[in-house]
Amino acid sequence: MVLSMRYIFLVLSLLFSSLGFAKPPMVIDIIQSENFTHRYQNFLNGRSVQEVNDFHATTKGSHIEIVEMILLQQALILGGIDKPIVFNPKPSVNILEYSDLISGDSLILARSVWHEDILDYRGSLYVSEPLVKFGEYEAGLYVAKRNLHLHNIQKNQLDNLTVVANPRWKVDWRALHNTELSIVSFIGPWETMLEMVETNVVDTMLINFSVSETLELNFENRLYVPINNLKVFLPDSRHFVVSKRHPEGKAVFEALNKGLAILRENGTIEKALKQSGFINEKVTDWQTINIQMLNPGQK
Amino acid sequence: MSKCFQTFFALLFFFYGFEALSKSTSTTKLQTKRFAELPAKLEIYKKAVLATYDLKLLPNLKSLEQEAQAVDNKSVQAEALLLVALLKHRYGDYRESLTLNQAALDIAMELQDPGLLIKVYLSIVGLEVSLERFKQANEKMQKIDLLMAQLPAVSRLKAKINLWKSRIYFHQGSYLQALYVLDSEINKSNANKDVFVELLIEKAKVKLRLGEHIEAQDFLDQIAHYNIGNQYQYTQLIIKVLQAKVYLQAGLFVKAILTAQDALKSTFHTRFLEQQAELQHTLASSFAQIQDYQWAHLYLKRFAFTQKALDLQKRNNKLLQLEAKFDFEQQKQQLTLLEKENAIKQQQIMQQKQAIENTALTQQRIILIVVLLFTFLFFMYWRWQSKRTLNILEQQVAERTQELALRNKQLQTLSYTDSLTNSFNRHFLFTHIDEYLPQGNFSESTIMCLIDIDHFKQINDSYGHNAGDVVLKSFVKVLKSTIRQNDVVIRWGGEEFLLIMPNISRKAAAEILERIRLNIEEYDFTANNERISVTASFGFTPIPLVHDKSILDWEQTIELADFCLYLAKNGGRNAWVGATGLVDHEPFDAKSILRDTRALITQRKLKAISNREDIIKSL
């Protein structure tokens, strides 16, 4: 079922693009579990990618993935790629992540990646200028809304709290290791981690700030709120990666960097990150509990 | 004398001291030599351990420790313990390593040597970091920070401390903090060469973690420059690991593979598992990127295996620690519980003691109060009793006094009374005359009247003495019934009476005397059933004789009254005569009045009155 969907999407993309342009399309790989095609199309709502200049969420659920897909395309176009761009959903990664990129079977990924995760593959991958710079990415410590006593915990009380974290999410893992929180390690779906918070197995978990007005997160009718006035910054930068082995790799990478520079320059990136809630202005004044990782000399 | 004794004792002391010194010299010398050799020996062993981490060194280290203990060189003993601990740590015996560290810590604590303390803490920090127990490692670091102040301004240890700080940050994933600490230390560049190389290695590591492989290569080049002649296996290995990583990030996969494989060879007979795992991972990544998936897969499997072994080791040690901690907590809990129980029991005992004390105190108080009460009651009783006795005595005394007074009065009365007639006697007169005489200005006068029963001798003779006595009694009765209340009757002689009438005029006195005379005359005197006719004669004189003048005293007045009585008798009896005054202008003295009474009356110089004018006229 999933596979047939994927082919229909690919075929449709090819069909549309071949109608408008004579050139072969540029294929961007997207991991199937992160295939947000439906919401992506909804967000575009018939507009072309270049036309998008308001990044406020119009659909429910995670929004950053869609914004990244749009920013990537805008950058590529601005960088001089004049081919039609299509997304190619792929099943989950092999033993070695990014192996298709390394081998040159894939050209580029739709999503940005943590720098830390591709360190060993720098020899095989072009790493773009950061989409999210070091220190920009902030997240909240979400607790079950009914646990009122946790809502206004202070920084110095955090050592009494447990937080669930996935050691494979290295950046989250590192960030939390530099707080007073006691970490409960868990490898598994995000939803299960949320369930652990819900059932008081742990007190809290690190989640991107919600775009909702109250920062409240509603997941399957269960409500979660961030601990007031406390935030965690994720100590890494996020980048797009392009295959070095792919014949178009170099050109695409150069175009991408050029485009990203333009987007950065004209403030589109910042606007997109802010409007999509990725950089949440509501928590600007909140205390960053692992700030020492960003400003080492500071007491 | 005392000086002599002092000198003697001083000599004695000196002699024995010398004896003792000369005896001990040989053994002390030997010990001193060993004591001095120990640090040098320690340095050699330290270098050997760091160079090879060879397990064969363990017996030597142990003997060094014992030797140090024997000559009481605690500092060397502690460092030997640390070296053993390092070896044990390297070979995965974390628990034993921790115990040895603790022993070294005890010694360092005892010595209060900040340098040694820091060394021990750093050793423990290394252990904690291996077990990813960063909180505990940071706690030790805080202790070290406090001790730093006691270190000399320039100390090799400071660089070492910062090296470990950066290592903790690195393992915690706080790369910027690690860099910050490293940069501050590297810029000082006064560190010992070995430590400096280690600092550079750390920095290269951090740079690689940040993906900055070009800079990492620079540091590796620097290390190569400084590290010539370094014999430390471990350091060499680390450098190779890093170099392989740099090649990997730079995309120089073949170089990475060659370097890593070369390094991997040197790890097989060692316990450098972490480096082995890293190398295997680098190899897997490199082979994958040159699309030699077979080798990549092989090394990935090997990596997974090594990593699993490492994780197991960590897990086991963590579990052991958890168990130990749990046991300790439980013991602590039990201890706390016991302490609490003890405290409660002690409190109860205290309370009981208090209660007993309180009861005793209350009892004492009650006893005291009772005693006081009894004393008070006894005192009150005593007072009451004595008062009562006193009262009785007083009453008795009063009664006796009263009785005595009564007796006295009775006696007095008796002594003043004529027993026959119950009138006063002469004694009364002599005692009480002053009370009846006019006082002060002589405005009033007292009448002194002598009364004599007429022909009393005849009565006695005719009717007997008894009848005489009856007459006398009746006579006084009549007399008393006629006179005023304040008037006094005194038996003056046999049948003669003196009537004293104080505060009376001459005229009133005359009237009373007349009434007496008449009452006597008319009274029925009866004796032996026979009526006896009785009359009486009266002679009286007032005192003072003349107003406002005291001429006659009372005796002389009575004498004058006696003369008047004589006149009354002489004039025929049953009459009264009174000399009542003198002519005012004539001066008289008492003597002349009493001597010439008759003449003075005749000459009317002395006024005389009588119920019978004829008596006066007949003079």
Task: Tell whether A41 is covered by a domain.
Answer: yes
CB atoms A177 and B282 under 8 Å: no
Distance, CA of A59 to chain centre = 16
pLDDT bucket at B515, cuts 50 / 70 / 90: very high
Residue A289 near chain B (CB below 8 Å): no
> A271 lies in a domain?
no
**Residue B301 and residue B285 in contact, taking contact as beta carbons nearer than 8 Å:** no
Please give the single-letter amino acid code of residue A106: S
Looking at the structure, tell me whether residues A48 and A109 fall in a common domain: yes
Band of residue B538 on the pLDDT scale cut at 50, 70, 90: very high
The residue in chain B having the minimum alpha-carbon distance to the alpha carbon of residue A121 is: B249
Nearest Cβ partner for A296 among B180, B213, B291: B180
Average pLDDT, chain B: 86
Name chain B contacts of A244, Cβ cutoff 8 Å: 251
* Long-range contact set of residues A214-219: C-beta below 8 Å, sequence gap at least 24: A215/A140, A215/A280, A215/A282, A215/A283, A216/A145, A217/A142, A219/A191, A219/A194
pLDDT range class, residue A20, cuts 50, 70, 90: very low
Task: Considering only the beta carbons, identify the residue of A103, A124, A296 that sits closest to B176.
Answer: A296
Residue A272 lies in a domain: no
Contact state of B282 with A95 under an 8 Å Cβ cutoff: no
Q: Which residues of A touch B209 (CB under 8 A)?
A: 116, 119
**Token pair belonging to B507:** 């005229």
Mean pLDDT value of segment B544-555 = 82
| Domain boundaries, given as residue ranges, for chain B | 251-412, 426-617
Higher pLDDT, B546 or B513: B513
- Average the pLDDT over A151-175 and give the result: 92
- For residues A101 and A12, membership in a common domain is answered with yes
Inspect the interface and report whether the beta carbons of A293 and B177 lie closer than 8 Å.
yes
CB contact under 8 A, A119 and B249: yes
Note whether A18 and A157 are same-domain residues.
no
Span A261-270, mean pLDDT? 94
pLDDT value of position A18: 43
pLDDT, position B152: 77
Is A298 a member of any domain? no
**A95: contact with B, CB 8 A cutoff:** yes
Whether A273 is covered by a domain: the verdict is no
> What pLDDT is stored for residue B322 in this prediction?
67
CA nearest A6: which of A24, A33, A26? A33
Which residue in A has a C-alpha nearest to residue B297's C-alpha? A95
Check whether residue A176 and residue A123 sit in a common domain. no
* Co-location of A202 and A253 in the same domain: no
d(CA B4, CA A141): 90
Q: What type of residue sits at position B568?
A: A
A157 assigned to some structural domain: yes
Residue B65 falls in the annotated catalytic set: no
Cβ contact (<8 Å) for B248 and A178? Answer: no
Host domain of residue A212: 138-235+284-293
Tokens of B194: 């070995």
Sequence-distant (≥ 6) Cβ neighbours of residue A113 within 8 angstroms: A238, A239, A240, A241
The pairing of strands B530-532 and A217-219 is: unpaired
Q: Hey, what's the torsion of the CAs at B465, B467, B472, B473, to 10 degrees?
A: 120
Residues A176 and A130 in one domain: no
Distance from CA of A70 to the nearest CA of B (A): 27
Average pLDDT over residues B234-243: 91
Give the range among A143-157, B265-279, B296-310, B534-548 with minimum mean pLDDT.
B265-279
Kindly report, residue by residue over B338-366, the tens digit of the pLDDT.
888 888 999 999 999 999 999 999 999 99
Checking if the pLDDT of B498 tops 90, the result is yes
* A292 and chain B in contact, CB less than 8 A: yes
pLDDT in tens, A37-72: 778 888 888 888 888 888 887 766 667 888 898 999
Check pLDDT > 60 for residue A228: yes
Q: How many domains does chain A have?
A: 2
pLDDT at B510 over 60: yes
Bridge partner residues of B488 (DSSP): B500
8 Å CB contact of B249 and A177:
no
Q: Write out pLDDT tens, residues B436-491.
A: 888 766 667 899 999 999 999 988 888 888 888 889 999 999 999 999 998 999 99
pTM above 0.80, yes or no: no
Q: How far is A163 from chain B (nearest CA, A)?
A: 16
How close is the nearest chain A Cα to the Cα of B251, in Å? 3
Residues of chain A neighbouring B291 (CB-CB closer than 8 A): 102-103
Is A205 part of any domain?
A: yes
> With an 8 Å Cβ cutoff, are B173 and A178 in contact?
yes
Distance from CA of B286 to the nearest CA of A (A): 8
Does A96 contact B at CB distance below 8 Å? Answer: yes
User: Which of A96, A124, A294 shows the shortest C-beta gap to B251?
Assistant: A124
Q: Distance (Å, rounded) from C-alpha B491 to C-alpha B476?
A: 9
Number of separate helices (H) and strands (E) present in chain B: 21, 8
Residues of A in contact with B172 (CB under 8 A): 174, 177-178
- Rounded to an integer, the average pLDDT of B299-313 is 89
Over residues B520-530, the mean pLDDT reads 87
Looking at CA atoms only, how far is residue A235 from chain B in angstroms?
Answer: 8
Residues A246 and A104 in one domain: yes
Looking at the structure, tell me whether residues A124 and A23 fall in a common domain: yes
pLDDT at B22 over 80: no
Answer yes or no: is pLDDT of B556 > 60. yes
Compute CA A70 distance to the chain's CA centroid, rounded to the nearest angstrom: 13
Ramachandran angles phi, psi of B373, nearest 5°: -60, -45
- pLDDT of residue B92 exceeding 60, the answer is yes
Interface probe with A: pick from B135, B177, B303, most Cβ of A within 10 Å: B177
How many beta-carbon pairs below 8 A join chains A and B? 72
Chain A residues lying within 8 Å of B298, measured CB to CB = none
Average pLDDT for chain A: 85
Instruction: Evaluate if residue B1 carries a pLDDT over 60.
Output: no
A50 plus A157 within the same structural domain: no
Shared domain for A188 and A53, answered yes or no, is no
* Mean of pLDDT values over B182-198: 82
What is the arithmetic mean of pLDDT over A261-265?
95
Round to whole Å and give the CA distance between A6 and A88. 8
Amino acid at B616: I
**Are A55 and A174 in a shared domain?**
no
Find the angle CA(B417)-CA(B419)-CA(B423) to the nearest 5 degrees: 45
Distance between CA atoms of residues A63 and B536, nearest Å: 171
Which one from B67, B278, B495, B559 is the annotated catalytic residue?
A: B495
Which residues, listed in sequence order, are joined to residue B447 by a DSSP beta bridge? B501, B542
Work out whether strand B576-582 and strand B606-610 pair parallel, antiparallel, or are unpaired.
antiparallel
| Interface contact A296-B250, CB threshold 8 A | no
Residue A276 falls within a domain, yes or no?
Answer: no
Average pLDDT over every residue of B414-426? 87
What CATH class does B426-617 carry? alpha beta
Q: Is A124 on the interface with B (CB under 8 A)?
A: yes
Same domain as A247, residue A99? yes
